[in-house]
Every structure is written in structure tokens, then in C-alpha cells.
Amino acid sequence: MQSALSLSFSQASLPLANRTLCSSNAAPSTPRNLRFCGLRREAFCFSPSKQLTSCRFHIQSRRIEVSAAASSSAGNGAPSKSFDYDLIIIGAGVGGHGAALHAVEKGLKTAIIEGDVVGGTCVNRGCVPSKALLAVSGRMRELQNEHHMKAFGLQVSAAGYDRQGVADHASNLATKIRNNLTNSMKALGVDILTGFGAVLGPQKVKYGDNIITGKDIIIATGSVPFVPKGIEVDGKTVITSDHALKLESVPDWIAIVGSGYIGLEFSDVYTALGSEVTFIEALDQLMPGFDPEISKLAQRVLINTRKIDYHTGVFASKITPAKDGKPVLIELIDAKTKEPKDTLEVDAALIATGRAPFTNGLGLENINVTTQRGFIPVDERMRVIDGNGKLVPHLYCIGDANGKLMLAHAASAQGISVVEQVTGRDHVLNHLSIPAACFTHPEISMVGLTEPQAREKAEKEGFKVSIAKTSFKANTKALAENEGEGLAKMIYRPDNGEILGVHIFGLHAADLIHEASNAIALGTRIQDIKLAVHAHPTLSEVVDELFKAAKVDSPASVTAQSVKVTV
């Protein structure tokens, strides 16, 4: 939630150049109480350095935001005429929650419909409880690494764990975050409606036996684990991530089908707790979604040094759960020829083959919308597209259900973008600026293009690509932590300093990536950001050294140069 600041000012307190502009809607001497809800100061003419014409532009473009902020200070606003709500959100996951909070901030009367529990997949069956398990695996790895502990001069007896205690930690965290999300919406006056939501027609939604209307509607129903054909899930010995997060058992030997984010994180958890892991990957290499250079290093550290083996280029054509004393049976076939390849007998199997959109039963046929592989088609502004290729008025879809980028924070960003649009400000989200992270030990993070993707783009558009790298072994803080294993890599254009992609493998990589992602989002060029100052000694200097290692033909902007002179 964004912080809010209440200020009181009168016309006389404003800069002289701004008084005329701000006096058209109020008596000159009447004090005003405004509540800042993350809006920029310029929206209220609080910028003495602005020229008259500049401030007039701000006033016109932000007028709707000023009025919205005033109404949001009193809670959920009044609905538009002829509608029950200004905004109805179907799905109370992270995406729906982010949209709801921003909508109330903008003064919209908002309802959110949830057929399960608030928080959706991320909070209840995804990123939140998995981070609790990964926190445990990180502690276990450190305590089990005798060489690492001796380097600090520490002596630790054999580390152990209580399985139920670990499971309770994950469950309790999910409950706490779910309650936080629920309370934050209730505090702002968002109406939380219980029931399965479906679109009945234009601007009309049904949940349970109730029908409500909304000026705008957002579908934010998320996704569910994808289970390929031929795999029988019993929830005990053949499981999805939903089941694995409950940690009802720690098998001696578990096969993980899929080596993406989900599979890698669970391999980190299971091996730390004593399991042996076998990866089954359909593609020819592990970690196919990562930058090849980063995945090569990550494989050496995260897989080759642990009790993990793998089969690549194969499908698990059939998986039979354990029963009658027999183990889990996995039949492998060649991914290309479909010929039988091997048969595995293991204690358990985790299906980590990705996620599928949850879009069935939403009433999409009522508005002539046809899904594509289950995903709801949208344009760059998240507006839903019907079967004829036309936009469905006042209907949006965010998050996993549209398939643009299946990350919880991407869903929230899309929801905020939609709210900006429906309150009068056009906004297009740059998905290449959205970071992603894999919370293994060490972590992997990335934003933008991989090196192969960047070189393909460069060849098509006719520009050169350069690479900058820096090692965690050169970072004082990483060495102090005895965690020098790691690499940061940046792909960029040497002609103009545009950052095309950044990839990090190392200690706290998930935290370090945001300086690069924000630079991409704001259009900041390397020649400018390399002048920024970073505290020493910190891990942030890994990214600082990455920027400084880049060789850019263009000079720093006038603004950046003037700041440097002033300092």
C-alpha cells in the first residue's frame, strides 16, 4: 500500500505563479485538506520551478486524479450513475488486489469477487508459502556446509528439522499474508463478494445468485497447475506444486517433471531436506527459459554439486502413483521421435510443467470471446478482444488468465495499468521491464531479453549488441558473506546505451535486479545511470560495476552531467 500524507494549505501559501491556475475551483482564502495517495506533487501545483504553461498542462491532465484522490480519502467512492460499481474485479489474487487498491485510491467504488480465498495462487499455493520453504532450505544448507561455517570460525552440530514445523511455517505465512490482503481491502471499503464470478453480458456480472453491474470489469482469475495427459495425480505420491507446498512428506527419491522456476525451487527445498532428485525435461537442456550463460553456471552450482540427476529431451508419457507397495512408475519417451526411452521407479513425482489459465465458466460465450489455448485474448492495454477481433467495451483481463507474463507482480502491474486507463490516463505497460526471479540458493534473476533474443532483435533492426559482465568474487560484501559464487550480465546497445536485458546469478540476485528493471521502465540509459552512487560495501555494487563496465558511444545527458558537477 502506498503511504498517504495529509496536508492543509490555503491559496496564499501557493507560489505566486500558481495561484491563478489553482483558484478557478475554490475560494481563494479557503483552506484545503488534501490527501496524497501516491500522486505526484505536480498534480497539485506544488512545484515552484514550473512555468505557467507547464503547470496548466499538469492541471488539465491530472484534474481527474485530483478529484479522485479527494474522494478516495473518504474510502470507497460513490458509483457512477446507473451502475452498482465503477469497477468490478473477478478474482482476488495479487493482481485483483493491486487493481482494487489502486481503484479506491482513484476514487472508484470497487467490488472484488472471489470464489475461493483471498490471495489466489500466489499467497495460498504459490510464491508466498514456497518462499517460507525456501527460507528453511537456505538455513539448512548453510548449517550443513561444514566448510562454509568453519570459514567464519563457527562450529555447529548436525542440523536437523521437524517436517511438520517446516510445513506449519509455510502455512502460517500464507494465512498471515492472506489476512493482510483481506484487511487492507476492507480498510479501504472495497466490497469483497463471495462466489464464483461470471460475465453475463456487457457490464454485468453474476456471482452466486446475485447480479451486479459495473462501468468497467476486470477478469483476474489466475491459473492452476498444468498436468499433461497420461499423468495421474493422486495428491500423495504424484503431486503438483499445490500439494508439495503442504510438505506432507519428504520422499527419499523424487522425480521433478520440468526444470523451470517451479522445478528448480522445489529441487532446492527437497535436496536441502535430504531427498534425491531426478529432473525430467522435454527440451534438450535444463533451465530452458534462462539466459544460456546464466543457466550453464546455475546448473554447475545448483544441480551438479547436489544429489540431482536428470533426463533431457524426454517426455513423461505416463506416470502411475504408488500403490499396493509398488513405487511411482514413470514411462519416458523421446521428445522428438516419441519412441520409448526409459522407465523410472521413484518414491514420488512432482509435476512442475507450468500453469494453465483458469478461464472456464466465466461466461465468455455471452460476450463472444473465444480463448486461445485457454488464455483470454487482450491487446497491449489489457482490453479483451472478441471472436471477431474487436475490443469488448469496458472489459479487461489481467494476470495469468491473459498469458502475457505469468507472474504475480506482473498481474498487479497490469491491474494498476487498467485502473489508470479507466480513470482517464492512457497507460501501456512495458512487459520487458518486469523482472523475474528464481529463489534458489543462490538466486537467479532477470529482466528484459536474453542474449540470443537480443542478438536476434539486433539482426532484424540493424544495431549492434554488447555484453558487460561482473563477478560476485569482486564484491566485498559477497566475499564477507563467503558467497563469491555468482555472475551479473548485461546486454545493451553500445550506440545509445539502451539496456536490453540484465541477468544475475548470485547472493540476493532477486533484490539486485530492480535497479536494472526500473532503468528499463524509465528509459534510463547506461551513460546516465553509471554516474549514480552506491553505498560501499554492499551487494548493490555488483550492479554498479556492471553499468560501469559497459562501453557506450553516446555521452551522458545534460541532466546527469549537471548533477555530477553539482555533487
Closest to 197 measured CA to CA, from 178, 218, 228: 218
H or E element, residue 140: helix 127-144
| CA torsion, ordered 362, 366, 367, 373, to nearest 10 deg | 50
Question: Phi-psi category of 381—alpha, beta or left, where left has phi over 0 and alpha has psi -120 to 50?
Answer: alpha
Answer yes or no: are the C-beta atoms of 355 and 400 closer than 8 Å.
yes
| CA torsion, ordered 35, 37, 43, 47, to nearest 10 deg | 80
Grid coordinates representing 180? 493482510
Distance CA 306, CA 343 (A): 23
- C-alpha pair distances (Å), 525 with each of 152, 428, 455, 530, 557: 40, 20, 19, 9, 9
At a CB cut-off of 8 Å and minimum separation 6, what does 465 contact? Answer: 451, 454, 455, 458, 491, 492, 493, 494, 500
Given the residues 148, 441, 514, 536, the one annotated as active site: 536
Distance CA 546, CA 169 (A): 37
Task: Based on the residue annotation, tell me whether 147 is a catalytic residue of this protein.
Answer: no
Grid coordinates representing 343? 522407465
Grid coordinates representing 263? 522445478
Q: Which residues are catalytic?
A: 536
